[in-house]
C-alpha cells in the first residue's frame, strides 16, 4: 500500500496539474479573503468560507477529475497497471489501493493549501476553528466524490483526448447542466411531486454539500420555513451530506470495477 | 472581654440599622413589602442577592440594585408590574415570568403601564416578553439585555421589547437575542429606537400600525428577518445594519403596506433579500449599501412610486428583481442615480455614466412561479440561465437608472491583493527555478 502512496505522491508532485490546481485555488481564495475584510465582523468569517466554497465548486471538481483520471490513465498508458495486475493484485485490489493513494495524495495537497490559507484567514479575519473544520470536512467530501468520478473516467477512456473531453463534459454536466435542467423543470414542481424534486436536488453533491455547509455555518436558518420548503426538506442536511459522501464514491468505485474488468486485456 | 465584644457587635448592628434601615431589614421582608414601605418618590436600595417576586409598583419610586441583585418571579405572572408613572428600575437581573400563552395577559419580565418610566442597566432572562410597555408614554429603556430561551422555539415565546399604544419612548443600547421578535411596536408613534443589537430572533424589529418613529444605528444580525415594517407610515431608518438574515423567506428589511418611509444610509449585507418591498408606495431609499445579498432589492408590482438614489449595489447575485409585472419606480433623483458595480463608460468624467443603466433579469418570473428558485440563486448555472434567456429575448427590465453613478472603487483591498499576487508570483518563480535546477 505504501508503495502505491509513495508512487502517487511522486507522480503528482512531479506533474504540473497539481501545482496549477493549488495555485489557482490559493489565488482565488486570497481574493475572497481580501474582500472579506470588509464583511461585518459577526459571521463575516463564515460568509467568507461559503464564498470560498462557491469558488471551489468550479475549481475543485475540475482539478480532482483531471488529476485522478490522468493518474489512473497513466497506469494504463505506461503499462504499469498490467505489470501490477500480472504480479499478484486483482483488479479490485489494484483499484482499491490506487483509489486510496490518489485520494490521500490529492486531499493532503489541497488540505495543505487550505492550511496555508488559514494563516491568512487568521491574520486578517475573526478565525473560527469549528467553522473552518466544517469547511474542511465539506471540501474533503467534495474531493473524495470527484476523485472517484475521475478514477472512473480514467479507466473507461481509451485515449487522452477522450479523457480530456470526458472530464470537461462531466464537470459541465454536474456544475452547470443539472442545475439548468432543474431550473427549467422548476415551474412544474408542486406539493405532489416535491419529494421527487427534493431527492433530485439533494442527490446532486454540490447542492447537498453546500446546503450542509450553509446550515452548519449558521448562514441559513431552518426555522420558519414555508410549507413548500418544509415539504422540500425531507431529511436533515447532515443526512443528505452523509448520503452523498457515501453513495457517489461507492457507486463510481463499483462502476469502475465493472467497466475496468471488461476493459483490461491480459496478455 | 466577652461582654465587651457583645456590646461592640450590638453597637455596630444599631449603627447599620440607622444608616440603611431598608437594606438591613431586607432579608426579613419580602420585596413587595419593601416596595410598599418605600414612600412615594423614595428610593429602595436592594442588596446584591436574590429577591423573590412577583412585585407590583403602584407609586412613583426608584429601585436601585447592585451587582448580584436578582428579582426572580414565581413563574406564574409578570415579575415586575409598574402601575404608576415616574418609576425607575436600575441595575438588576429579572427572571422567571409565567409562560402561559392561553392566559388573559401575556406575561413579561417587566410590564410598564405608567408614563415616564426608566428601565436601565437591567438584564432579563427566562420570561415570555422581556419588557412590555403598555400605554406607557415618555419612557426610556436604556442598556437592557434580554435573552430569550432558544432560537429553535421562537414561536413559543414572546418578544424582547413589546411596545403597544405607547408614544414618545426612547429605546437605546439594548441587546436582544433568541426571542420571537426583538423589538415589537404596535399602535405607537414618535418613538426613538437607537443603537440596539438584535440577533437570532424571528424579526429583529417588527412594526405594526406605528407612525412617525425613528431608528438609528441599530444592528440586526442573523435573524429570520432583520426588520419588518408593516402598515406604518412616515418612518426614518438611518445608519442601521441588516446583515446575515438568511433563510428560505428571509430579508434584511421588509416594507409592507407602508408609505413615506425613508431608508437612509443603511447597510444590507449577506441577506437572502436585502430590501423587500410589497404593497407599499412613495418610500425613499437613499444612500444605502446593498452588498453580497442574493437579491439586493426585491420589488413586487404592488409596490410603486418609490425613489431609489445614491445607493450602492455591490456583488449581489442579482441587484434588483421585480416580481409580478412592471413596477413603476424612480431609480434616480435630481440627476443622481445609483452605483451598480457594472462596467459603465464615463468619457466626460462627470461621475455619471454616459448611458442609462438597465438592470435586466428573467428571475422575476421564475421566483414568482416557485419559491424554490431561491435555492438556485447561488448556482453557477444561474448566469447561464440568464444568458440563455437574454439570447431568447425573454429578459425583462427590472430597473432603469438614467444617471448611474461612477463610485470610487476601494483602493486598499486592491492594493493588498496586488501585493499578495506579487508575493505569490515571486514564490512560484523561485519554486520553478529550484525544480529546474
For chain B, domain boundaries: 101-419
Nearest partner of A64 among B124, A72, B233, judged by Cα: A72
Predicted local confidence at residue B73, as pLDDT: 93
Q: Read off the pLDDT band of B240 (50, 70, 90).
A: very high
Among B94-103, B304-313, B354-363, B414-423, the range scoring the smallest mean pLDDT is B414-423
Homologous superfamily (CATH) for B101-419 = Single-stranded right-handed beta-helix, Pectin lyase-like (2.160.20.10)
Q: How far apart are CA B290 and CA B286, in angstroms?
A: 11
Measured between beta carbons, the chain A residues lying within 8 angstroms of B380 are 57-58, 175-176, 179
- Whether the predicted pLDDT of B35 surpasses 60: yes
User: Are A187 and B385 in contact (CB < 8 Å)?
Assistant: no
Q: What is the mean pLDDT of residues B215-230?
A: 92
The residue among B293, B381, B388, B410 with the most chain A CBs within 10 A of its CB, best to mutate, is B381
Nearest partner of B103 among B123, B81, B135, B75, judged by Cα: B75
Q: What is the mean pLDDT of residues A141-159?
A: 92
Measured between beta carbons, the chain B residues lying within 8 angstroms of A197 are 372
Measured between beta carbons, the chain B residues lying within 8 angstroms of A34 are 413, 416-417, 420
Q: Read off the pLDDT band of B55 (50, 70, 90).
A: very high
Q: What is the mean pLDDT of residues A28-47?
A: 83
- Burial grade of A42 (CB within 10 A; 0-12, 13-18, 19 or more): middle
B105 versus A111: the higher-pLDDT residue is: A111
Among residues 401-430 of chain B, which lie with CB inside 8 Å of chain A?
410, 413, 416-417, 420-421, 424, 428
The residue among A224, A227, A236, A240 with the most chain B CBs within 10 A of its CB, best to mutate, is A224
B393 touches chain A (CB under 8 A): no
Nearest by CB to B381, from A31, A35, A180: name it.
A180
Among residues 227-246 of chain A, which lie with CB inside 8 Å of chain B?
228-229, 232
Region of residue B68 (phi > 0: left; psi between -120 and 50: alpha; otherwise: beta): left
Which DSSP string corresponds to B64-85?
E--TT-EEE--SSS-SEEE-SS
Beta pairing, strands B203-208 & B181-186 = parallel
Question: What Å distances lie between residue B353 and B386, B398, B406, CA to CA?
Answer: 24, 18, 6
Phi/psi for B184 (5° steps) reads -115, 125
Among A86-95, A252-261, B352-361, the range scoring the smallest mean pLDDT is A86-95
Q: How far apart are CA B271 and CA A172, in angstroms?
A: 29
Q: Read off the pLDDT band of A129 (50, 70, 90).
A: very high
Angle B88-B90-B92 (CA atoms, 0-180°, nearest 5)?
Answer: 130
Q: Read off the pLDDT band of A81 (50, 70, 90).
A: low
Are B288 and B266 contacting, i.e. CB atoms less than 8 angstroms apart?
A: yes
- Whether the predicted pLDDT of B276 surpasses 90: yes
Bridge partners, B336 (sequence order): B333
| Neighbour order of strands in the sheet with B181-186 | B55-57, B80-82, B108-112, B129-134, B161-164, B181-186, B203-208, B225-230, B251-256, B273-278, B295-300, B318-323
Measured between beta carbons, the chain B residues lying within 8 angstroms of A221 are 224, 246-247, 250
ipTM of the complex: 0.82
Predicted local confidence at residue B112, as pLDDT: 95
- Whether the predicted pLDDT of A132 surpasses 60: yes
Q: What is the mean pLDDT of residues B237-261?
A: 89
Q: Read off the pLDDT band of B81 (50, 70, 90).
A: very high
Are B158 and B178 contacting, i.e. CB atoms less than 8 angstroms apart?
A: no
CB-based burial, B166-189: b 16+ in 10 Å, e otherwise: bbbbebbbbbbbbbbbbbbbbbbb
Q: What is the mean pLDDT of chain B?
A: 85
Q: What is the mean pLDDT of residues B123-148?
A: 94
Among residues 179-218 of chain B, which lie with CB inside 8 Å of chain A?
199, 202
- Whether the predicted pLDDT of B245 surpasses 60: yes
- Whether the predicted pLDDT of A267 surpasses 70: no
| Highest mean pLDDT (candidates A81-90, A159-168, A222-231, B400-409) | A159-168
Q: Within 13 Å of residue B196, how many CA atoms lie on the same side as its CB?
A: 29
Predicted local confidence at residue A85, as pLDDT: 63
Q: Which residues contact B280 (CB under 8 A, 6 or more apart)?
A: B255, B256, B257, B258, B259, B261, B303, B306
Predicted local confidence at residue B154, as pLDDT: 61
User: Are A37 and B370 in contact (CB < 8 Å)?
Assistant: no
**% of residues, chain B, pLDDT over 70:** 89
**% of residues, chain A, pLDDT over 90:** 45
- Whether the predicted pLDDT of B270 surpasses 90: no
The residue extents of the domains of chain A are 2-263
The residue among B149, B370, B410, B419 with the most chain A CBs within 10 A of its CB, best to mutate, is B370
B42 versus B372: the higher-pLDDT residue is: B42
H or E stretch covering B360 = strand B357-361
For residue A252, what is its C-alpha cell?
463510481
Amino acid at each position: 500500500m505504501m508503495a502505491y502512496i509513495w508512487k502517487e505522491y511522486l507522480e503528482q508532485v512531479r506533474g504540473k496539474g497539481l501545482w496549477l490546481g493549488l495555485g489557482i485555488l490559493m489565488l482565488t481564495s486570497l481574493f475572497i479573503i481580501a474582500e472579506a475584510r470588509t464583511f461585518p465582523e459577526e459571521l463575516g468569517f463564515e460568509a467568507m468560507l461559503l464564498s470560498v466554497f462557491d469558488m471551489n465548486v468550479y475549481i475543485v471538481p475540475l482539478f480532482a477529475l483531471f488529476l485522478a483520471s490522468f493518474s489512473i490513465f497513466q497506469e494504463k498508458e505506461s503499462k504499469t497497471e498490467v505489470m501490477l495486475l500480472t504480479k499478484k493484485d486483482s483488479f479490485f485490489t489494484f483499484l482499491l489501493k490506487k483509489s486510496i493513494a490518489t485520494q490521500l495524495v490529492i486531499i493532503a495537497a489541497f488540505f495543505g493549501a487550505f492550511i496555508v490559507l488559514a494563516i491568512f484567514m487568521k491574520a486578517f479575519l475573526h478565525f473560527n476553528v469549528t467553522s473552518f473544520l466544517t469547511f474542511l470536512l465539506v471540501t474533503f467530501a467534495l474531493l473524495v466524490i470527484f476523485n472517484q468520478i475521475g478514477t472512473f473516467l480514467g479507466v473507461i477512456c481509451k485515449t487522452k483526448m477522450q479523457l480530456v473531453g470526458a472530464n470537461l463534459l462531466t464537470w459541465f454536466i454536474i456544475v452547470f447542466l443539472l442545475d439548468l435542467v432543474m431550473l427549467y423543470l422548476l415551474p412544474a414542481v408542486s406539493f405532489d411531486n416535491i419529494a421527487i424534486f427534493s431527492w433530485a436536488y439533494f442527490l446532486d453533491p454540490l447542492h447537498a454539500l453546500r446546503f450542509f455547509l450553509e446550515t452548519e455555518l449558521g448562514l441559513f436558518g431552518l426555522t420558519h420555513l414555508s410549507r413548500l420548503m418544509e415539504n422540500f426538506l425531507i431529511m436533515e442536511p447532515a443526512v443528505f451530506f452523509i448520503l452523498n459522501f457515501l453513495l457517489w464514491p461507492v457507486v463510481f468505485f463499483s462502476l469502475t470495477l465493472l467497466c475496468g474488468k471488461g476493459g483490461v486485456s491480459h496478455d | 472581654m466577652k461582654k465587651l465584644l457583645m456590646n461592640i457587635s450590638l453597637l455596630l448592628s444599631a449603627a447599620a440599622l440607622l444608616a440603611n434601615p431598608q437594606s438591613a431589614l431586607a432579608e426579613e421582608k419580602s420585596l413587595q413589602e419593601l416596595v410598599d414601605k418605600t414612600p412615594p418618590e423614595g428610593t429602595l436600595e436592594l442588596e446584591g442577592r436574590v429577591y423573590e417576586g412577583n412585585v407590583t409598583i403602584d407609586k412613583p419610586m426608584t429601585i436601585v440594585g447592585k451587582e448580584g441583585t436578582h428579582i426572580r418571579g414565581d413563574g406564574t405572572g409578570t415579575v415586575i408590574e409598574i402601575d404608576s408613572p415616574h418609576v425607575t428600575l436600575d441595575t438588576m437581573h429579572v427572571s422567571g415570568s409565567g409562560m402561559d400563552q392561553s392566559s388573559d395577559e401575556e406575561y413579561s419580565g417587566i410590564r410598564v403601564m405608567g408614563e415616564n418610566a426608566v428601565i436601565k442597566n437591567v438584564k432579563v432572562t427566562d420570561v415570555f416578553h422581556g419588557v412590555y410597555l403598555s400605554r406607557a408614554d415618555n419612557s426610556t429603556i436604556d442598556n437592557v439585555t434580554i435573552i430569550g430561551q432558544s432560537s429553535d422555539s421562537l414561536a413559543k415565546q414572546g418578544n424582547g421589547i413589546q411596545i403597544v399604544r405607547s408614544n414618545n419612548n426612547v429605546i437605546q443600547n439594548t441587546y436582544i437575542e433568541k426571542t420571537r421578535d426583538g423589538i415589537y411596536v404596535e399602535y405607537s408613534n414618535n418613538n426613538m429606537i437607537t443603537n440596539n443589537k438584535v440577533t437570532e430572533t424571528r424579526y429583529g424589529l417588527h412594526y405594526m400600525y406605528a407612525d412617525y418613529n425613528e431608528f438609528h444605528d441599530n444592528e440586526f444580525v442573523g435573524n429570520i428577518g432583520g426588520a419588518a415594517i408593516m402598515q406604518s407610515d412616515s418612518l426614518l431608518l438611518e445608519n442601521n445594519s441588516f446583515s446575515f438574515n438568511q433563510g428560505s423567506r428571509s430579508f434584511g428589511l421588509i416594507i409592507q403596506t407602508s408609505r413615506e418611509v425613508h431608508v437612509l444610509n443603511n447597510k444590507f449585507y449577506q441577506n437572502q433579500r436585502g430590501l423587500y418591498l410589497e404593497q407599499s408606495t412613495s418610500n425613499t431609499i437613499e444612500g444605502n449599501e446593498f452588498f453580497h445579498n442574493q437579491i439586493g432589492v426585491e420589488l413586487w408590482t404592488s409596490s410603486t412610486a418609490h425613489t431609489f438614489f445614491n445607493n450602492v449595489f455591490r456583488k449581489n447575485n442579482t441587484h434588483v428583481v421585480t416580481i409580478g409585472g412592471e413596477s413603476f419606480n424612480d431609480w434616480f433623483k435630481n440627476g443622481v442615480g445609483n452605483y451598480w458595480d457594472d462596467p459603465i463608460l464615463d468619457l466626460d468624467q462627470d461621475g455619471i455614466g454616459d448611458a442609462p443603466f438597465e438592470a435586466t433579469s428573467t428571475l422575476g418570473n421564475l421566483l414568482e412561479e416557485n419559491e424554490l428558485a431561491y435555492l438556485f440563486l447561488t448556482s453557477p448555472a444561474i448566469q447561464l440561465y440568464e444568458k440563455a434567456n437574454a439570447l431568447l429575448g425573454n429578459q425583462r427590465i427590472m430597473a432603469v437608472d438614467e444617471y448611474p453613478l461612477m463610485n470610487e472603487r476601494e483602493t486598499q483591498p486592491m492594493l493588498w491583493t496586488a501585493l499578495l499576487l506579487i508575493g505569490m508570483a515571486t514564490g512560484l518563480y523561485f519554486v520553478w527555478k529550484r525544480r529546474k535546477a
